[in-house]
Structure 1
Amino acid sequence: MPGLGPVLQQGRQLLTAALIARLRAAGCVFAEDEARLLLAAARSDADLEAYVRRREGGEPLEVILGWAEFCGLRVGVEPGVFVPRQRTALLVDLAVAGLPSGPDRRPVVLDLCCGTGAMGLAVAARVPCRLLAADLDPVAVGCARRNLADLGEVFEGDLFAPVPRALLGRIDVVLANAPYVPTGEVGLMPPEAHEHEPRVALDGGSDGLDVHRRIAADAPGWLAPGGRLLIEVAEPQVDEALDLFEAADLEARVHRDQDRDAVAVVGTRRTR
């Protein structure tokens, strides 16, 4: 009589194959990876079926799991909060590469439009810093506070408005993954984005740069001399983003990462 091991293994393989087929039919590009993660998360057959139905309905995988992988970290994700994208890791890499360091220098970092707080969390994991984060959405603020507990301060309000005034002219890096999808293109995004993520985290106005204009206009007053503002944009927005940084008297540079399909614009406060 054969042992149970091969029988159980065959049954699991059949279950996995069926699950992959359902996810593919639902339009999941990385069905194999998603099947593995859902199987690992489910504690019962009922859990697994509920998870798969939610995914088939377009709910983001990260919301179903309750976390997203970002820069090698597990970041808590909750319903109604923007899910961190892998392309945004470029901003983290650029921020860390230019941060001042040393025993007598604890840089100040602000994660603006922070969502889950993923960028701030990733920076703080790599460089000791004073970390602040801010978002307009109270749901995002609650999520970020849980992710950044004991690591930083999270403020609720519109852009720089809730940041302590004592930090004017003292911030070394502002990272802003502000919404940059043009209003007319939000409906063209995958359903898991435009149906399940807050529109305020996606819609950047007619050309996608409304929020960036406000950030660039106010950032120089908050940045320390030589401090930097980092934003993420789409390729067609690069020239306009450069112009608005220069209009704010920020020395602007473009950084591209083809592997991540990411474009970042970095503006440095001039020291003169």
Structure 2
Amino acid sequence: MAFMTRGSDVVAALRAAGCVFAEDEAQLLIGASNHPEQLNRMVDQRLSGLPLEHIVGWAEFCGTRMSVEPGVFVPRRRTEFLVRVAAMIAKPGAVVVDLCCGSGAIGAALNDRLESCDLHAADIDPVAVQCARRNVEPRGGAVYQGDLYAALPHGLRGKVDVLLANAPYVPTKSIAMMPQEARLHEPRAALDGGADGLEVQRRVVLGAPRWLAPGGSLVIETSGQQAPETARLLDGAGLLGDVASDESLGATVVTGSPRSR
């Protein structure tokens, strides 16, 4: 490909490749490049299907640029609803755990809304953990690597005020129908929720009561179709499930809180 020196060239190339927001993407790529050779490489990456966020190194989430790198799940705009729901529950200084944290954007965004919290995040993927540290540690938080609760310090047991979970919830057979950007460039472990999409959610819900503080809540993202079953899982764990949705974002969140005695 010849070097692109004009924004119109970048727009044309992106549009020809089927990018719906070619103008916006071109502006971001041009702004992130330091010289024509770098811009050309970045455009080639985008044309090959690499997510824009992986190319420029960040994703806008809840009004803030969060670091993202290749091989890490890109935070979705719909997940901003999970942060909004959690912000209505959490108080400044709350002990917050972002489980299956990916880039750590959810916990970081909630911390920003609260102005401060005792933030902890965990993921099984070492690449995600490395990325999350760039978003969480500057906010005074800590990131751990491991499988769900096994990653967390034992000192957090029974002390978590708000447990955030955007666990994978795509049924295995549905992954083949996802956009190429996700299927090919995001870790399968961040997408695959097992046969019914709820395998990881079950483990999150089952372990939650041992980690929540008295009065603490689990806030978990799911799909509209899966929400009734997610709420039943919470009920089985002794938590009262409350389903909330935002149609404009296509987002559904289930909150599990202690039952009143």
2:232 matches 1:243: yes
2:40 matches 1:49: yes
Residue 133 (structure 1) aligns with: 121
Could you tell me which amino acid in structure 1 is paired with residue 149 of structure 2? F
Separation in structure 2 between the aligned mates of residue 94 and residue 82 of structure 1, nearest angstrom: 21
Per-residue CA deviations over 1:225-253 (Å, capped at 9, x if unaligned) read: 22111111111111111111111111011
Question: What displacement does 1:271 show?
Answer: 5.0
Contact 1:226 1:271 in 2 (8 A): no
Separation in structure 2 between the aligned mates of residue 33 and residue 267 of structure 1, nearest angstrom: 38
Per-residue CA deviations over 1:140-188 (Å, capped at 9, x if unaligned) read: 1111112212420111111011212222111110111111111001111
Residue 142 (structure 2) aligns with: 153
Residue 257 (structure 1) aligns with: 246
2:101 matches 1:91: no
2:103 matches 1:116: yes
Question: What displacement does 1:15 show?
Answer: 2.8
What secondary structure is seen at the aligned counterpart in 2 of 1:204? coil
Separation in structure 2 between the aligned mates of residue 216 and residue 55 of structure 1, nearest angstrom: 38
Separation in structure 2 between the aligned mates of residue 97 and residue 21 of structure 1, nearest angstrom: 44
Among 131, 148, 172, the alignment partner of 1:143 is: 131
Separation in structure 2 between the aligned mates of residue 175 and residue 38 of structure 1, nearest angstrom: 32
Residue 19 (structure 1) aligns with: 10
Residue 5 (structure 1) aligns with: none
What secondary structure is seen at the aligned counterpart in 1 of 2:150? coil
Residue 58 (structure 1) aligns with: 49
Separation in structure 2 between the aligned mates of residue 202 and residue 26 of structure 1, nearest angstrom: 25
Q: Which runs of 5+ in 2 are unaligned?
A: none
Contact 1:249 1:270 in 2 (8 A): yes
2:154 matches 1:165: yes
Could you tell me which amino acid in structure 1 is paired with residue 191 of structure 2? L
> Aligned-pair RMSD on alpha carbons?
1.4
What secondary structure is seen at the aligned counterpart in 1 of 2:167? coil
Separation in structure 1 between the aligned mates of residue 186 and residue 141 of structure 2, nearest angstrom: 25
2:220 matches 1:231: yes
Contact 1:225 1:271 in 2 (8 A): no
Contact 1:23 1:31 in 2 (8 A): yes
Separation in structure 1 between the aligned mates of residue 35 and residue 211 of structure 2, nearest angstrom: 51
Separation in structure 2 between the aligned mates of residue 18 and residue 68 of structure 1, nearest angstrom: 24
How many aligned positions are there? 256
Separation in structure 1 between the aligned mates of residue 7 and residue 17 of structure 2, nearest angstrom: 15
Percent identity over the alignment? 53
Separation in structure 2 between the aligned mates of residue 217 and residue 27 of structure 1, nearest angstrom: 43
Question: What displacement does 1:66 show?
Answer: 0.5
2:257 matches 1:268: yes
Per-residue CA deviations over 1:63-119 (Å, capped at 9, x if unaligned) read: 000011111111111111111111101111111111134xxxx21000000011001
Contact 2:136 2:142 in 1 (8 A): yes
2:200 matches 1:206: no
Contact 2:137 2:143 in 1 (8 A): no
Return structure 1 stretches of 4+ with deviation > 3 angstroms: none
Contact 2:11 2:26 in 1 (8 A): yes
TM-score normalised by length of structure 2 = 0.94
Structure number, greater radius of gyration: 1
Question: What displacement does 1:265 show?
Answer: 0.8
